Amino acid sequence: MGFRRLLVEVSRQHSRMRPAKNIFSCSYHTSLKLGGNAGITSESVFPSSFNSQERSFQHPTSSIILSKALYSTDASTIEASPTEAAKELHDKLLKSVVEQRTAPPNNWLWSLIEKCENREDIKLLFKVLENLRKFRLSNLRIFENFNDNLCREVSKACVRVEAIDLAKKTLWKHNLYGLTPTVASANNILMYAKQHNDVNLMVDVMKLLKSNDVPLQPGTADIIFSICYNTNRWDLMSKYAMRFVKGGVKLRRTSFDTWMAFAAKLGDVDNLWKIEKLRSGLMKTHTIGSGLSCAKGLLLECKPEEAAAIILVVTQTLPEAKRPDIMAELEKLVSEWPLEVIKCRKDEDKTALAAGLQEDIPTMIDGLSGVGIKTNIKLGDLTKTAL
> What pLDDT, on the 0 to 100 scale, is given for residue 378?
66
pLDDT string in tens for the chain (387-residue length): 454 454 445 445 544 444 433 323 333 233 333 333 333 333 332 233 333 333 333 433 333 333 333 333 333 334 579 999 999 999 999 999 999 999 999 999 999 999 999 999 999 999 999 999 999 998 888 888 999 999 999 999 999 999 999 999 999 999 999 999 999 999 999 999 999 999 999 999 999 999 999 999 999 999 999 999 999 999 999 999 999 999 999 999 999 999 999 999 999 999 999 999 999 999 989 999 999 999 999 999 999 999 999 999 999 888 888 888 988 999 899 889 999 999 988 777 788 898 899 999 999 998 888 766 766 666 655 555 545
> What pLDDT, on the 0 to 100 scale, is given for residue 305?
95
> What pLDDT, on the 0 to 100 scale, is given for residue 324?
86
> What pLDDT, on the 0 to 100 scale, is given for residue 379?
62
Q: HEC string of the chain? A: CHHHHHHHHHHHHHHHHHHHHHHHHCHHHHCCCCCHHHCCCHHHHCCCCCCHHHHHCCCHHHHHHHHHHHHCCCCCCCCCCCCHHHHHHHHHHHHHHHHCCCCCCHHHHHHHHHHCCCHHHHHHHHHHHHHHHHHHHHCCCCCCCCCHHHHHHHHHHHHHCCCHHHHHHHHCCCCCCCCCCCHHHHHHHHHHHHHCCCHHHHHHHHHHHHHCCCCCCHHHHHHHHHHHHHCCCHHHHHHHHHHHHHCCCCCCHHHHHHHHHHHHHHCCHHHHHHHHHHHHHHCCCCCHHHHHHHHHHHHHCCCHHHHHHHHHHHHHHCCHHHHHHHHHHHHHHHHCHHHHHHHCCCHHHHHHHHHHHHHHHHHHHHHHHHCCCCCCCCCCCHHHHHC
- Tell me, yes or no, if the pTM score tops 0.85: no
> What pLDDT, on the 0 to 100 scale, is given for residue 107?
95
